[in-house]
Structure formats: C-alpha cells, structure tokens
C-alpha cells in the first residue's frame, strides 16, 4: 500500500526484487521457512506424512553476533561542543535500540536512523527496519531522498499507514511531509499537533542508512543492502538438515524390544474389563507377527548411534556458514548438543577482524551524520563543523591477561602512569581511572596525586 501511494504521487522507487528477497530473509531470521522446514515423507504405502524439520535458527544467531561485535555497551560516543548528546542518547534508549537495528539491518540488508522533533519539541531518534524504507533518489549507495513507513492504529480502531517523506526543496534544504493513510490507501488528516509539512532549513539529511559491508548481488543498482546471510541460504539449509538428522538419530535409534503378537494380546478378566499384558504406551516395545513355528521369542534392537559423525558434520556446516557470513571459521562451536560462540581473541589478520573493520567504517559514518543531525535539531549553528568521536570496542582483539601484564611491566619500569594503565586494562575514561588510583593510594595511606600527573 505504501509503495502504491508513493508511486501515485510520482516517486521513483527501486526495483522490488530486493523487497521480495526480504520476505525470504525474514523467514530464515525467524527460524522457519515453510517450503523447507515443512516436508512430506513417503512411507512406502502410497501415503505421505507431513514432518517439521528441526532448526538451529542460525540466521538470527549470525546477525546477533555481528551486532554484538559492532555496537555493544563498550562503544563510546562523544562530541565536543554538543552537550545535549548524552541526554538524547539516554532518553531514546539509543544503545539498546541501535544494537537491535544493527541486528535487523544485517538480517534484512538495510536499517535507518531517522531524527525529528516530537510534539514537545525534543529531538528523538526513530529506528526503521529495511521493509519500511523506500529510497526515492540516490546516486550509487548515497540516498538523498527517502520515505519511511509504518503500520499504525487509527483512532477509530482501524489499522492504517504512516509515511514520513524526506525530500529536497529547490534551495536544496530538506522538507519533511507527514502522511497518514487508511487501510485502502486513502489520505487522512494528520493528528493534532502533527504538521503535515515541515521546512527544516537543513541541507543535512535527517536520516542515515546502514548496511552490511557486502554487495547486493540480487540487484547491483539497488540502494538497498544485502542480508549478511543472503548468499548463504544453502549453508543455512545444510546446517538445519544435519541438525535435524542429529536429533532423529536419538529419536529413531532408541532401544526397542520386538514382542510376538501372542504376548501382546488383551486378556479378558472376570469383571468383563480388558487389560494388556504390557503398557501399550511404552515406546520400548514393538509388536510383530509371530513366526510360523510358534516360538514366542523376544527380539531386542539396539542401533548404534552416529553421534560423533553427526557432530563432526554439523561443525563443518557451522564453519562453512560462519565463513560465508563474514564471521570467519570457528566462530561457532557445537558442544554438548548446543551451538556456542567461540571466546578466543580475534586475530588481527583474520577474516573476522577485516569484516568488523569494514562494517565499523559504514556504521561510524552513519553515527557521525546522526550526531550532526541531532545537533541541528538542538539549534547548533554549524553542525557540519562538529567532530564526533566514536570509540569502538576493541576488547575482542585483545587478550585481557596479556594487556594487564604489559601495563604492569610498563608501570614498574616507569614508562606509564598508573592512571593510564587502569584506563587501558579496565577500559574506563580518565575520570574513573583517577578515582581508582586515588582509592588505592588512600588505602595504602598515600596522599592523592594532582590530577595532571595521574
């Protein structure tokens, strides 16, 4: 409905091939693809049984791992000369919401930050997933005009659509339109205190797109990105096939006792009630037709479980999937019947290290523009001159024990202050490190050193 409306007002939209692929990506992210995880089995008697294939839900695990490595609680965001930044980020729950957006962007190929003022005039940030992003004008991967949609509940209890359209005026400043549609696509009046059109006066866009650092192989000319597992659907299938077989190995390989039919007959009791010689609900027993010689022999079947072979095959599938999705080999381990994330330090010459650094560049650029857009909404006279600082979490590239030992040696040799060592080891800012140094000195009866000397 949103695409239809935008087309009706003359907006140019990208091809819908990527949007169609998003539906498949969303199914894999949710962990259930109907035409793969539901299947039929031929029983040999012209009957088919519908089965549900077990799933590891690795698509979501892959995206969550990328989000954890890129934008976690150790990432520090600051900007000298923009004092309101921390309050805005805290009020909008930025760290949690942005981490969630990165995960969705890696699942669906694209995500967006959108900045605007609420009804009370406060700058806020919206976090928009890919299927609600509609680029209108772009050059290469740079989108200059865009619409963002969402489903809403109307006052009469019906559901409708909301569109926020960011377009350029002839003077190259941005104009934002707020559009409301009913279920049939008919335009509705805007709610109270919501302007239908806002001339921002800003030449900076009040939105930023983020994408995984990979080419959209579905549509090379599309401004929309590619899911991090978009080229690894076969590997996702392989992992679930092996995992399903692994579970079936225990389900179908249970020890069974083959019981002659004569021993499984029902006995007539004096009160007219019947009772079996064994509990028919017990899955250990299986009734078979007695042999012609009349022997009432019990036969035990105890299959050999192929646990090691399945575990090895599943680990190979996880390594291949992880490699295809830019997490390198060995990021996931199949141990104890469950998939776990590897904890070892990421080598700086590894594929994963290179992947993280490529994605940090894209995310950093988007965060710079987001901070400048927020500064503009706060009334900053020259937001384009601000220099934000984004310090990403490098702890995954460092061995904590090795870092501590190196700092202790430098302090003992007089080549580093205790304050700098604490900042390096504990990854805290200067003020917190100074407090820790003073606390240690106080405990040992020493006087606190001047702040300038740490």
Cβ burial, residue 190 (10 Å; 0-12/13-18/19+): middle
Contacts of 361 (CB under 8 A, 6+ apart): 213
Q: Which of 179, 85, 136, 135 is nearest to 377 (CA)?
A: 85
Measure the CA–CA gap between 207 and 28, rounded to whole angstroms. Answer: 28
Distance of CA 389 to the CA centre of its chain: 25
pLDDT for position 105: 97
pLDDT for position 454: 38
Measure the CA–CA gap between 440 and 451, rounded to whole angstroms. Answer: 15
Give one word for 448, left, alpha or beta, with left for phi > 0 and alpha for psi -120 to 50: beta
CA atoms within 13 A on the CB side of 191: 11
| Domain ranges for the chain | 2-210, 254-302, 399-454
Distance of CA 8 to the CA centre of its chain: 34
pLDDT for position 452: 43
Measure the CA–CA gap between 58 and 332, rounded to whole angstroms. Answer: 10
Which tokens belong to 325?
A: 């999705």
Measure the CA–CA gap between 62 and 90, rounded to whole angstroms. Answer: 27
Measure the CA–CA gap between 179 and 161, rounded to whole angstroms. Answer: 8
pTM above 0.85, yes or no: no
Q: Which residues of the chain have pLDDT under 70?
A: 43-49, 250, 252-305, 336-337, 343-349, 398-400, 446-454
DSSP for 110-161, please give it: -EEEEEEE-TTS-EEEEEEEGGGEEEEEEETTEEEEEEEEEEEE-TTS-EEE
DSSP for 92-113, please give it: TTHHHHHHHHHHHHHHHS-EEE
Give one word for 294, left, alpha or beta, with left for phi > 0 and alpha for psi -120 to 50: left
Cβ burial, residue 63 (10 Å; 0-12/13-18/19+): buried
DSSP for 217-228, please give it: SS-TT-SS---T
pLDDT for position 303: 61
Q: Report phi then psi at 144, rounded to 5.
A: -100, -25
Place of tokens 């900042």: 423
DSSP for 155-201, please give it: TTS-EEEEEEEEEE-TTS-EEEEEEEE-TTS-EEPPPTT--SEEE--
DSSP lists the bridge partners of residue 341 as: 332
Give one word for 30, left, alpha or beta, with left for phi > 0 and alpha for psi -120 to 50: alpha
Measure the CA–CA gap between 440 and 437, rounded to whole angstroms. Answer: 5
Which tokens belong to 134?
A: 């509609």
pLDDT for position 12: 84
Measure the CA–CA gap between 430 and 417, rounded to whole angstroms. Answer: 12
Measure the CA–CA gap between 109 and 216, rounded to whole angstroms. Answer: 8
Measure the CA–CA gap between 204 and 385, rounded to whole angstroms. Answer: 12
């Amino acid at each position: 409905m949103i695409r239809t409306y935008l087309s009706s007002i003359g907006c140019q939209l990208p091809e819908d091939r990527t949007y169609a692929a998003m539906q498949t990506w969303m199914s894999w992210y949710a962990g259930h693809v109907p035409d793969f995880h539901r299947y039929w089995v031929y029983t040999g008697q012209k009957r088919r049984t519908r089965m549900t294939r077990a799933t590891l839900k690795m698509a979501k695990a892959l995206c969550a791992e990328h989000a954890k490595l890129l934008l976690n609680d150790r990432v520090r965001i600051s900007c000298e000369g923009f004092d309101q930044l921390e309050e805005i980020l805290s009020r909008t729950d930025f760290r949690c919401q942005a981490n969630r957006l990165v995960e969705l962007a890696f699942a669906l190929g694209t995500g967006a930050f959108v900045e605007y003022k609420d009804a009370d005039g406060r700058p806020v940030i919206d976090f928009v997933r890919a299927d609600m992003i509609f680029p209108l004008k772009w050059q290469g991967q740079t989108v200059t005009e865009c619409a963002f949609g969402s489903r809403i509940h109307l006052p009469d209890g019906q559901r409708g659509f909301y569109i926020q359209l960011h377009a350029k005026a002839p003077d190259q400043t941005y104009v934002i339109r707020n559009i409301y549609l009913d279920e049939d696509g008919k335009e509705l009046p805007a709610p109270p205190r919501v302007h239908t059109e806002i001339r921002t006066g800003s030449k900076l866009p009040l939105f930023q797109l983020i994408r995984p650092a990979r080419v959209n192989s579905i549509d090379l000319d599309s401004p929309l990105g590619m899911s991090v597992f978009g080229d690894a659907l076969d590997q996702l299938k392989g992992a679930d096939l092996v995992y399903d077989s692994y579970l079936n190995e225990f389900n179908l390989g249970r020890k069974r006792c083959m019981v002659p039919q004569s021993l499984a007959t029902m006995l007539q009791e004096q009160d007219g009630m019947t009772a079996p010689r064994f509990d028919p609900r017990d899955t250990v027993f299986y009734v078979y037709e007695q042999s012609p010689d009349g022997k009432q022999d019990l036969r035990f079947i105890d299959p050999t479980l192929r646990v090691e072979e399945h575990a090895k095959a599943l680990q190979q599938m996880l390594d291949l999937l992880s490699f295809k999705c830019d997490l390198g080999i060995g990021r996931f381990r199949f141990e104890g019947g469950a998939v776990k994330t590897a904890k070892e330090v990421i080598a700086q010459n590894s594929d994963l290290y290179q992947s993280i650094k490529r994605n940090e560049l894209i995310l950093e650029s988007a965060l710079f523009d987001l901070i400048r857009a927020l500064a503009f909404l706060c009334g900053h006279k020259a937001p384009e001159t601000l220099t934000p600082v984004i310090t990403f979490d490098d702890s995954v590239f460092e061995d904590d024990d090795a870092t501590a030992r190196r700092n202790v040696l430098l302090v003992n040799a007089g080549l580093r202050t205790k304050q700098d060592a604490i900042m390096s080891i504990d990854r805290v800012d200067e003020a917190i490190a100074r407090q820790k140094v003073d606390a240690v000195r106080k405990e040992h009866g020493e006087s606190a050193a001047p702040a300038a000397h740490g």
